[in-house]
Copies of this chain bind each other. A is one copy, B any other.
């Protein structure tokens, strides 16, 4: 068994979970999903975008649509964590961490606009009982639960007021997703400003009410 994130090399010289082709297909999938939406995304369109001559290649590299989509989510989660985690950790107090979470998440919208849209597309279009959702849940939870944990710690430390951490995280998540969708349809939107507004909102919503 091997540690997550450190795929072992195989005899072929390729890694287990990755190959140039796989990465190329995942990238193409992200672009297509972001552009036409999850519902209208098909292997044919992804193959075209990737410069592949047939969809057979996709089926060869991925066990199925679910597998490919999972990889899309994994990739975006990986990039997101890479960007967000150090920024969150750099913050000194929990209030700062919350702001860092929201603002760095929104910042990703400008850095990887397609990636975030793609993931939002996928996640909102998946029903709860979908077997994929389980797979996604694990991937998304790493960041989300850390965040929720931070909140509880902040409450314990007396830095945040008492509230249902889970609902709060849900609200933050929803608000951000709302902005992602909005950004997709309104190109001129000042995303950073919106990010600051959102951070303000949840800063006020979490901090200890002055007596």
Residues of A within 8 A of B (CB): 8, 36-40, 53, 124-130, 133, 163-164, 167-168, 170-179, 181-182, 184-185, 193-194, 197-198, 200-202, 204-205, 209-210
Contact = CB atoms under 8 A, between A and B. Distances in A.
A209 B204 contact: yes
24 contacts: A37-B126, A37-B127, A40-B127, A124-B125, A124-B181, A129-B185, A163-B200, A164-B194, A164-B197, A167-B197, A170-B175, A170-B178, A170-B179, A171-B175, A171-B179, A171-B201, A174-B174, A174-B177, A177-B178, A200-B205, A201-B202, A204-B204, A204-B205, A205-B205
A197 B163 contact: yes
A181 B181 CA distance: 16
Contacts of A185: 128-129, 133
A169 to B, nearest CB: 9
A164 B193 contact: yes
Contacts of A163: 197, 200-201
Contacts of A172: 175
Contact of A182 (B36, B39, B170, B184): B170
